[in-house]
C-alpha cells in the first residue's frame, strides 16, 4: 500500500501488528466483526480538530466571526452535541434537521434556518423554537416571516440570500452561486426585495448571505463574491439606507478525497477572506460586518470511514475485475450522483503488496452503482474488509432504503474507545411506517 493513503483517513490512523487498519485507536477489522458491515465510522477527535481549526483560523484572521456547521453534511444527536460543545453555530435546511438539533439540546438561538422553499409550518416551528437566524430566499418568504414576527412578537435576525454570479469551478450539481440558481435572488431582484422589505411592519434585513457551491479548492471565488456583495451593499446603502451588519459567505471549503486533490488549509481561506473584507469595507466606507462561514464537508468528511465486506468477484475479459461489496449507492450515493472519486484500503491486508486494479461495485440493482472505478488493492478474497476514507459528509444523510437496503450503523471512535450512536436498521424498520391494509 502507498503509505500516503493514510493521510486521507482521520488523523492518527495507523496499522497495528496484525496488519489491520486502526482508526481512532480502534482496530477496524474488530469493529467490522463487532458491529457488522457496512459500517459508518466517525472519529470524534478528528471532528473536534476540524471544528477547532476552522474557529481558530477564522477568529485569528477576523475577530467578529461565527462558524456555523452546515448540518446537511451529516447530522445525528451525538454529532449535534459535539458541534455544540465545540461552540460552533449550526445551519439547518428543514424542520427535520431542526428537530434533530433541538433534540440534542442545541441552542435555538445559534441556529440558522436555510432553504429555498421553507413551508409555513416549518417557519412556524422554527419561530416557536426561537431559532435565532433565518436566511430568507425570496420576497414571499420575507413577507411570511414578517407576518409571523407581527403575530408572535418574536423577531429573529434575517439575512437575505443572493446569487453573486460567481462560478466556483466545481461540479454543476454542487454549484449554487451562479446566476439562474434555484437558491436566493440575483442582485437586481435582491435590490427590489430589500426595497419592499423596508416597507414591512416588523422585519429588518440584517445582512446578506451567499453560498457559491461545494468542494471549492480556490480562494478567488470567495474574494470575488465578497467584492460583489460589498459593492451591492454600498449601492443599497446609498439608495435605500441599507446597513450590512452580517455577511455570510456560506460553506464549500474543499477537502482531499484522493491523493491528487489539493485542499487548502482553513487558514488560507480565512486570511484571504478577512483581508478582502477589511480592504473592501475600508474602500467603500462600510462598517465591518459580522462574518459568518458555514463549513459542512470540511468539518466531517475526513472524519468518516466506511467499512464494507467483500462478497463476489468477477473478471470480465477486456473490461475489468469487479469486486462486489455489501453496500453501495444506498449508503454512498456520491459516485453515482456526481462522479465523486474515492480510494479504498483492504483493512485486514494493509501491508500486503498492491496487485490489482479493480472496480468496487455496490450490491444494488443499478449499473451505475459503482463505488470506485479503479481501486488499487492487494489480492482480495471474500470476507476481506474494505475501508473507504473521507465518507463523513453527504453519505449518511443521503442514505436510502433503495432495494430494501438497511441503513448502516454509525459508530463514534475516540482514543481506542468505540460507541454506537445510531443502530443499524433491521427488516422491521422497513415496514415501520406502513399502515396495515393500506388505510
Ligand X SMILES: Cc1ncc(COP(=O)(O)O)c(C=O)c1O
Residues labelled as active-site residues: 365
DSSP H/E element including 279: helix 266-284
CB atoms within 10 A of CB 395: 24
Q: Which of 142-150, 280-288, 296-304, 308-316 is the region at the interface with ligand X (rule: CB under 6 A)?
A: 296-304
CB atoms within 10 A of CB 86: 18
CB of 228 to ligand X, least distance (A): 17
Is the Cβ of residue 296 or residue 304 nearer to ligand X in the bound state?
A: 296
Question: In angstroms, what is the minimal distance from the CB of 44 to ligand X?
Answer: 19
296 near ligand X, rule: CB under 6 A: yes
Among 92, 225, 298, 399, binds ligand X (CB under 6 A): 298
The residue among 101 and 377 lying less far from ligand X, judged by its C-beta, is: 101
In the stretch 81-100, what mask flags binding to ligand X with x, by CB under 6 A?
----------x---------
Q: What is the pattern of x (binds ligand X, CB under 6 A) and - over residues 214-243? A: x-----------------------------
Give yes or no for residue 250 binding ligand X (CB under 6 A).
Answer: yes
Least separation in angstroms between CB 262 and ligand X: 16
Could you tell me which of 163, 164, 115 has the C-alpha nearest to residue 137?
115
Judged by CB under 6 A, does residue 175 bind ligand X? no
The kind and range of the H/E element at 232 are: helix 220-240
CB of 114: closest distance to ligand X in angstroms?
Answer: 5
- Assess 378 for contact with ligand X (CB under 6 A): no
Task: Look at strands 26-27 and 21-23 and give their pairing.
Answer: antiparallel
Those residues whose C-beta lies under 8 Å from the C-beta of residue 317, and which sit 6 or more positions away, are none
- Residue 258 host element (H or E): none
| Alpha carbon distance 98, 90 (integer Å) | 9
Grid coordinates belonging to 216: 471549492
Q: Of residues 109-148, which lie at the interface with ligand X (CB under 6 A)?
A: 114
Q: Is 1 helix (H, G, I), strand (E, B) or coil?
A: coil
Among 44, 294, 326, 369, binds ligand X (CB under 6 A): 294
Determine the 3-state secondary structure of 357 from DSSP: strand
Candidate ranges 5-13, 247-255, 370-378, 398-406; the one touching ligand X (CB under 6 A): 247-255
| Selected binder of ligand X within 221, 251, 304, 389 (CB under 6 A) | 251
Task: Count CB neighbours of 408 within 10 A.
Answer: 28
What binding mask, one character per residue, do residues 34-73 give for ligand X by CB under 6 A, x or -? ------------------------------------x-xx
The smaller minimum CB distance to ligand X, of residues 44 and 91, is found at: 91
- List the one residue from 46, 66, 110, 211 that touches ligand X (CB under 6 A): 211
> Do 343 and 260 meet the contact criterion of CB atoms below 8 Å apart?
no
Cβ neighbours of residue 368 under 8 Å, at least 6 residues apart?
A: 329, 336
**d(C-alpha 194, C-alpha 142), whole Å:** 10
Q: How many residues bind ligand X (CB under 6 A)?
A: 16
Give 249 or 350: the residue with its C-beta nearer to ligand X: 249
370's grid cell:
459503482
Nearer to ligand X, 181 or 306 (CB): 181
- Taking the least distance from each CB to ligand X, the nearer of 250 and 304 is 250
The DSSP element (H or E) to which 234 belongs, if any, is helix 220-240
What is the DSSP pairing of strand 133-136 with strand 89-92? Answer: unpaired
Nearer to ligand X by Cβ, of 251 and 378: the residue is 251
Q: Which stretch binds ligand X (CB under 6 A): 32-40, 150-158, 292-300, 302-310?
A: 292-300
- The DSSP bridge pattern shows strands 370-377 and 356-361 to be antiparallel
Q: How far is the CB of 266 from ligand X (least distance, A)?
A: 11
CA dihedral 233, 234, 239, 240 (to 10 degrees): 40
| Residue 297 vs 334, nearer CB to ligand X | 297
77-85 and 44-61 are packed helices; what angle lies between their axes, rounded to 10 degrees?
A: 40
Site residues (vs ligand X, CB under 6 A) = 70, 72-73, 91, 114, 211, 214, 250-253, 294-298
Amino acid at each position: 500500500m502507498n503509505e500516503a493513503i493514510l493521510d486521507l483517513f482521520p488523523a492518527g490512523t495507523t496499522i497495528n501488528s496484525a496488519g489491520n487498519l486502526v482508526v481512532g485507536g480502534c482496530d477496524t477489522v474488530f469493529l467490522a466483526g463487532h458491529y457488522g458491515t457496512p459500517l459508518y465510522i466517525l472519529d470524534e477527535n478528528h471532528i473536534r480538530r476540524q471544528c477547532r481549526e476552522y474557529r481558530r483560523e477564522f477568529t485569528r484572521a477576523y475577530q467578529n466571526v461565527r462558524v456555523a456547521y452546515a448540518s446537511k453534511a451529516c447530522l445525528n444527536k451525538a454529532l449535534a452535541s459535539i458541534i455544540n460543545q465545540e461552540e460552533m453555530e449550526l445551519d439547518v435546511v428543514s424542520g427535520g434537521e431542526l428537530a434533530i438539533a433541538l433534540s440534542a439540546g442545541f441552542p435555538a438561538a445559534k441556529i440558522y434556518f436555510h432553504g429555498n422553499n421553507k413551508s409555513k409550518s416549518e417557519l412556524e416551528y422554527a419561530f416557536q423554537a426561537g431559532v435565532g437566524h433565518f436566511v430568507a430566499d425570496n420576497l414571499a418568504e420575507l413577507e411570511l416571516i414578517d407576518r409571523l414576527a407581527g403575530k408572535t412578537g418574536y423577531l429573529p435576525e434575517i439575512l437575505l440570500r443572493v446569487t453573486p454570479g460567481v462560478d466556483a469551478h466545481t461540479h454543476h450539481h454542487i454549484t449554487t452561486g451562479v446566476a439562474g440558481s434555484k437558491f436566493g435572488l440575483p442582485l437586481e431582484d435582491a435590490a427590489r426585495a430589500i426595497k419592499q422589505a423596508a416597507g414591512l411592519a416588523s422585519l429588518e434585513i440584517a445582512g446578506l448571505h451567499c453560498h457559491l457551491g461545494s468542494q471549492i479548492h480556490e480562494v478567488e471565488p470567495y474574494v470575488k463574491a465578497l467584492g460583489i456583495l460589498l459593492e451591492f451593499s454600498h449601492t443599497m446603502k446609498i439608495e435605500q439606507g441599507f446597513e450590512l451588519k452580517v455577511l455570510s459567505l456560506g460553506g464549500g471549503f474543499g477537502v482531499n478525497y484522493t491523493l491528487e486533490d489539493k485542499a487548502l488549509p482553513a487558514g488560507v481561506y480565512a486570511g484571504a477572506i478577512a483581508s478582502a473584507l477589511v480592504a473592501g469595507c475600508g474602500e467603500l466606507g462600510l462598517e465591518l460586518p459580522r462574518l459568518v462561514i458555514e463549513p459542512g464537508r470540511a468539518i466531517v468528511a475526513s472524519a468518516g470511514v466506511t467499512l464494507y465486506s467483500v462478497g463476489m468477484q468477477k473478471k470480465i475479459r477486456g473490461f475489468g475485475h469487479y469486486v462486489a461489496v455489501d453496500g453501495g449507492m444506498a449508503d454512498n450515493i456520491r459516485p453515482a450522483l456526481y462522479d465523486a472519486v474515492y480510494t479504498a484500503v483492504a483493512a485486514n491486508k494493509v501491508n500486503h503488496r498492491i496487485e490489482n486494479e479493480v472496480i468496487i461495485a455496490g450490491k444494488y440493482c443499478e449499473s451505475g452503482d459503482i463505488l470506485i472505478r479503479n481501486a488499487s488493492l492487494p489480492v482480495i478474497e471474500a470476507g476481506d474488509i474494505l475501508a473507504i476514507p473521507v465518507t463523513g459528509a453527504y453519505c449518511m444523510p443521503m442514505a436510502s432504503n433503495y432495494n430494501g437496503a438497511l441503513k448502516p450503523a454509525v459508530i463514534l471512535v475516540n482514543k481506542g474507545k468505540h460507541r454506537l450512536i445510531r443502530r443499524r436498521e433491521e427488516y422491521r424498520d422497513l415496514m415501520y411506517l406502513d399502515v396495515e391494509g393500506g388505510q
